[in-house]
Structure 1
Amino acid sequence: MTETKKYVRILKAKYASSWYADKIGEVFEVEREANLYTVRRGDESLTAIRKEDAELIVTEKRPAKVGERVLITDKYGTSGEYKDGDILTADLCIGHAITAKEVDLTIIFHSEYEVIVNNEEADEMENVEQRYDTAVENAREAIEELRLAAYAKGFEDARRELTATAPVEKTAQERRDEIVEQAKADINELKNRNFYEVPDADNFYNPYICTAEFIVNNQKRTVVALLRGANTSKVYARGIAKAAPDDCFNEHIGKAIALHRALGLEVPDEYLNAPQPTEVRVGDAVKLIHNGEVIDEYLVVKIEDDRVYDHNNTWAPKRTLKIIDDSRTEVGEWL
């Protein structure tokens, strides 16, 4: 039986801060597949791609038949008619090469491509093509209806409705909130069937099946991830995250960083360079600063207008506070 390989093409990035947000359309070979696709970047580091952000392409290494789609994986030469990652259709097979209908009079050697046997996006194309004529006709009718409605409603009103409002750039707090939610999701999405897989250096295809133990120290601003064998409790891998002295500590981001390191995955840049929080919220740990000196540290239990209260009902104005921990999980260490 011919061996198959898996690739993914980036379709989108759920988070603008994802490492592949600027790599839409690029193709990467899949190393492992669980709740996420694990791939290698150009520098050979392992990293993850969310399944909903990519299309899966399954290939076989063999000569293509007429009509089969092929994925270019090892382009020969410097001609610009096609490139690695392109999907082409074989229309002529000649000895050790093929030609493709998408590029005119170009010979593509068998060594340059792999035959696609399953492609999520391409499998949908037939239905798309069948619906094309109907969609075009419907579009014509919709445009005409819209034109008539625009005249009826008045040009200026229609112009305001049809002109898209320029997107508003997210604030630093909104970006941080998004990154925290992404970090929380990663803790589960890096699992494969409820467990984490730690590669065995002697047997890559038979990884250790592990559970994760997280040791969080809010005072030292560290998170340690220990990956223990599900049946043995032996620690097979560990990862450590520590917040920089001037950064706000967040347990969820710390867990995601430590877990990536324990799994041998590259840590997403958005975790390492998350913007600092700007909005004080209930559950945050804050420093009270006066004339450049730290007067107190406490947990926020209530906010009324500009007043931020601690558990003793003592308050300070927001402008005098610096957020040092926005995990908002356990409060005991700050009371």
Structure 2
Amino acid sequence: MRIKKATVDGVWYADKIGQIFEVVRENSVAILTKCGGHHSVLREDAEVIVTEKRPAEAGERVLITYAAPIEEQAYEKGDVFVAESTNDPVHKCVRVLGMPEYIDYTEYEVIVENEVKYEEADEMKNGKTRYDLAVENAREAIEELRLAAYEQGYEDAKRRIYTKDPAVSAQACRDEIVEQAKADVEKLSNYGDGVRYVTGTGSVATCNVGFVVNSDKRTVVALLKGLRTGKVYAKGIAKAAPSDCFNVHIGKAIALRRALGLTVPDEYLNAPQPTEVRVGDVIEVTLDSGEIEKKPVISLKAGSLNAHLPGRIIQYPSHYAKIINDSREEVGE
């Protein structure tokens, strides 16, 4: 099932337009999906895609259901391609139109139908009475309320941050968002004891939460890896915009929430930029020659705006220097 739209404000899938999820069951009103648990989607907001797990033939459309490579790649879960050649370069793998690399058999399923007609019986459907279906729908509604209550905590935090006295600095807002992100990662990873993840086959795997951080590329990748199998069941990626200051704690919170299929709070995506330099921050300095240096702040001179970098003292703020990384992990913050 692919999310086409969100007709109701505030639904859990409002920021997941275009993403695909496995269907658990459905009725005339809603479709129950797997997304870090079981959550409902209004039928009018979704497109049901029927697939078969078999080798594709040339000319058939394939749906990416699991993008296996860990490194950067040109496709992701939910993408649809047309198979150009099969068993290329190995058995069951395919090459598709417009894509230089091949797609492994474990990564795709063949699309056999995009439109599915649903017939509702008056009293029975799949051996269940209307009463049975009503009970199931009520349980789904309770689950939605539970998830909404969890997310409401982040909405309340956002209001606390952005409705403060205008005199409160952007730096104070950013500091609070960073602390919120740290607590979020700790809670979502079950304080280091792992998470339960519903796999594509419907089984539940206990996974370790791991992160791959690349400060140079300003990216964080969250990986959910099975404790027993060692298999990567899900991943989420966060990448700082070129104009943003990179912060590994905010990046981890964004990446982990994406791996778990949870909504990413707006404050993570739109955190204010830092305005105060601190020990451990990485500063980008543009020299008179046009050369660019990136160095950490090793000390601050009391009573002045001078920041001591390795081999250089600069004034901050200034038009030739900006903070590009305020993670400060090396100094224990």
- Report TM bin, short chain: 0.3 to 0.5
Question: What TM-score results when the alignment is normalised by the length of structure 2?
Answer: 0.48
Structure of higher CA gyration radius: 1
Question: What TM-score results when the alignment is normalised by the length of structure 1?
Answer: 0.48
Say which structure is richer in strand. Answer: 1
